[in-house]
Amino acid sequence: MFVAFLLLQVHAFAQYPCPGWKNNGEPASQSWLYTIKLEDPAQHLLHVTMTVAPSSPDLEVQLPVWNALYQIRDFAKNVNWVRATDAAGKPVATRELDKTTWAVPNAISVEYEIVAADPGPFGAEFSDQHVFLNLAQVLMYPVGHFHGQAVVSITGIPNNWRIATPLRETSSPSASSTGYCADSYDHLVDSPVEIGTFREFTFAHDGADYRVIVDSGESYDDTALLGTLKKLVAAETGWMNDQPFHRYTFFYHFPHGMGRGGMEHAYSTAIETSAARLSDDPVTFAGVSAHEFFHLWNVKRIRPQSMEPIDYTRENYTRALWFNEGVDSTVSEYMLVRAGLIDEKMFLARLSAQINELEVRPARQTQSVEDSSLDAWLEKYAYYRSAGRSVNYYNKGQILGVLLDLAMRDRSQGRVSLRDLFQWMNQHYAKEGKYFADSDGIRDAAEALTGTSFTDFFHHYVSGTDEIPYDTFFGTVGLHLQQTQSRTAYAGFTATANFSLTPVVASIDPGGEAQRAGLHTGDLILLVNGREPGGDLEGTIARLEPGTTLKLKVSTRDKVHEIKIKLSAREEPLFDLVDRPDATPQQLARRAAWIRGDSEASH
């Protein structure tokens, strides 16, 4: 049973030690204190004061250039000014050293004004509606002091607004506000902060508390929402046989317009999905929630070596995103089945759609999923996302997770599965405080569990670009990948959308209808037949009737105008996982276990 209530007081949560305080209200040694003042919602202005101890003549402060998304976003672009004072209260001559670093010799206090106008789960936003902070976008750190403890307090909060954050509440030297403490900068910026008139729901599972913070001006079915989350939490903690925390927080934003997706953290997740999608397409909502929740193990605790230590000044290159993102989705699909939110038929249809997405991308023959992981930093460019240039590590990784699972089952006569692989990695890496060696670490786990070599699998499909012999894998569960042709509508261009949300035209067929109609690469597509485009613009167009006219509202470099394109027809391959007529009872039994992510021997 769960109880919905408005939060009256943020619960203290003894997870991290907090720094002590000197009598004069300054932090003890090797720690720093931030005060974020909500200055002006109309201009999205925050005023940050950072008190540093101890200071030094060579003290420098830095603001990350990236966090959350694997994208260089240069948060320093939003810093209006930086000032500093020394222990005597005298101004310090600050000096900018590079785009994101300031020398502040002997400063004990650094102040700056920063704009927070970036909505969404990866952003920092202060408006008259609410505050949501990815703290890495607004809080500098003293260079070389990542491991000091930090306390944040927030002032200027309107009377009827409240704060929610996974950070531990602590007494603050400033009696007028609550402080929240973190044991390192990494921990601090892995902890989002929501401030506003949100609703809070709670439920308990196996001794842990779950909080659900919802900020939305739209109506939504909170009973359905909580029912889904409770099922997913039970499915995932049960599957991992682990619940490595006492409290976990789901932050949700349900805007009227498009949602920007989800962001994982060690003790929370922040997810933005449109209110309409939440009610029309509850499986997508459940899928995003299942994916982000599983990240609490996969990437936050079962973590690749290449992501550590986090370098906030440049790209952290990793070859492991196919596993940390893609195989995360492999598992979250199993969890939807385990939680009773989708059935076997829908599972196979969703998997077939993933295979379809990979198989229509020519770049599957030229870019490995490891290279796609390394190149994540290029995803902000529309052309990079086009089908001829890149494969998507979520997509191919999700498929590879399934194939790895089926191969492990096949080689071990059903003795071990992907579930054992994750539990093994949880024991050997997460619980030991170690990081795994990217793809090699995953291969080692599969080999240790099955006693067989996975060199070829990783060589062909992970670091290589070999075509995948699907039937070799799916035959073990009595399935066949059927390829047919389907006639779909086509407009003669491709467009891709990333976290910018608005699709951007990535390529145009020479001499095609779109080119004749005056569409150009780089144009933004604002409306499709009068409606805001969803995430899958090409799919939306493909489902229209060939021969009809597509109306696009398009923003170009210098104007917004309407373009009409007569849709042609094209034959496209269509992939479907279908039953093999000769499937054996053993294969069908394995299929049932596989789709639920079950081990076979012990169940």
From the CB of 82, what's the least distance to Zn ion, in Å? Answer: 34
Please confirm whether the linkage preceding 573 is cis (ω < 30° from 0).
Answer: no
Nearer to Zn ion, 352 or 398 (CB): 398
Distance CA 225, CA 218 (A): 14
Nearer to Zn ion, 112 or 122 (CB): 122
Nearer to Zn ion, 31 or 269 (CB): 269
Nearer to Zn ion, 69 or 351 (CB): 69
Nearer to Zn ion, 70 or 436 (CB): 70
Q: In angstroms, what CA-CA distances link 537 with 364, 491, 528, 572?
A: 21, 11, 9, 16
Q: In angstroms, what CA-CA distances link 67 with 111, 139, 276, 312, 513?
A: 22, 12, 29, 7, 41
* 247 DSSP β-pair partners: 209
From the CB of 291, what's the least distance to Zn ion, in Å? Answer: 5
Hey, which residues between 400 and 459 contact Zn ion (CB under 5 A)?
Answer: none
Residue type, position 62, single letter:
Q
Please give the size of the binding site for Zn ion, defined by CB under 5 A: 1
Residue type, position 64, single letter:
P
* 48 DSSP β-pair partners: 36, 112
From the CB of 298, what's the least distance to Zn ion, in Å? Answer: 9
From the CB of 332, what's the least distance to Zn ion, in Å? Answer: 9
From the CB of 330, what's the least distance to Zn ion, in Å? Answer: 12
Distance CA 423, CA 429 (A): 10
- CA-wise closest residue to 534 among 252, 255, 260: 260
From the CB of 288, what's the least distance to Zn ion, in Å? Answer: 9
Nearer to Zn ion, 272 or 325 (CB): 325
Hey, which residues between 322 and 381 contact Zn ion (CB under 5 A)?
Answer: 325
Distance CA 314, CA 409 (A): 40
From the CB of 300, what's the least distance to Zn ion, in Å? Answer: 10
From the CB of 500, what's the least distance to Zn ion, in Å? Answer: 18
- Residue corresponding to tokens 């306390």: 151
Structure tokens at 173: 């030297």
Print burial letters for 473-502: b (CB count within 10 Å at least 16), e (below 16): bbbbbbbbbeeeeeebbbbbbbbbbbbeee
Nearer to Zn ion, 120 or 173 (CB): 120
Measured in whole angstroms, the distance separating CA 444 from the mean position of its chain's CA atoms is 26
Taking CB atoms, the residue at the shortest distance from Zn ion is 325
For 57-74, give the DSSP string: TT-EEE--S-BSBSS---
- CA-wise closest residue to 534 among 367, 284, 290, 353: 284
From the CB of 391, what's the least distance to Zn ion, in Å? Answer: 16
Distance CA 261, CA 267 (A): 18
Nearer to Zn ion, 324 or 356 (CB): 324
CB 513 within 8 Å of CB 544: no
Nearer to Zn ion, 325 or 600 (CB): 325
Nearer to Zn ion, 501 or 544 (CB): 501
Distance CA 570, CA 298 (A): 40
Hey, which residues between 294 and 333 contact Zn ion (CB under 5 A)?
Answer: 325
From the CB of 299, what's the least distance to Zn ion, in Å? Answer: 7
Q: Which value, in Å, is the radius of gyration of the alpha carbons in the chain?
A: 25
Q: Which residues bind Zn ion (CB under 5 A)?
A: 325
